[in-house]
């Protein structure tokens, strides 16, 4: 088999061993995530013995206050973790700074 340096098909710069490793990770990570989530659900069912938490919710009823607080806390954490290097945040910050500067300049 010719070396990757002599290939002229446009893939000479691809490290195929690493590409296959990444492909395996992309295929296996959802399975691992699902198994972890199922395990966590079973653990919570054992530790928190309130059947109404695991049953279908009532239309008019709201979840208990501590569950709502936990949902808000975890969603805020996920939002912070996923958006910590988001480019839109930087653009929003710049636009906010410009708007504030223009407002302050109007008073001078």
For the question of whether the overall pTM of this predicted structure is more than 0.85, the answer is no
- Does some domain include residue 61? yes
Q: Which two tokens stand for residue 78?
A: 């996920």
Q: Does residue 82 lie within any of the structural domains?
A: yes
In a domain, 93, yes or no: yes
Considering only the C-alpha atoms of the chain, give the largest distance between any 2 of them, rounded to a whole number of Å: 74
Q: Has residue 2 been placed in a domain?
A: no
What pLDDT does 2 receive? 53
**Residue 5 in domain:** no
Give the pLDDT confidence score for residue 7 in this predicted structure. Answer: 58
pLDDT confidence of residue 36: 95
Task: Please report whether residue 79 resides in a domain.
Answer: yes
Q: Mind listing the pLDDT tens digit of every residue in the chain (108 residues)?
A: 555 556 566 677 888 899 999 999 999 999 999 999 999 999 988 998 888 777 787 777 677 788 888 888 888 887 777 766 566 666 767 777 777 787 777 665
* Count of domains for the chain: 1
Q: What is the pLDDT of residue 47?
A: 92
Q: Residue 75: which domain range?
A: 16-107
DSSP per-residue codes, 54-71 = HSPPPSS----HHHHHHH
């Amino acid at each position: 088999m010719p070396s990757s340096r002599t290939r002229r098909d446009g893939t000479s710069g691809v490290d195929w061993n690493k590409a296959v490793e990444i492909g395996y990770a992309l295929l296996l990570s959802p399975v691992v995530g699902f198994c972890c989530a199922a395990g966590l659900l079973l653990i919570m069912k054992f530790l928190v013995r309130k059947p109404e938490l695991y049953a279908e919710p009532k239309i008019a009823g709201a979840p208990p206050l501590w569950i709502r607080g936990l949902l808000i806390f975890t969603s805020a954490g996920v939002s912070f973790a996923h958006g910590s290097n988001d480019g839109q945040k930087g653009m929003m910050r710049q636009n906010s700074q410009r708007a504030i500067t223009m407002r302050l300049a109007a008073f001078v």
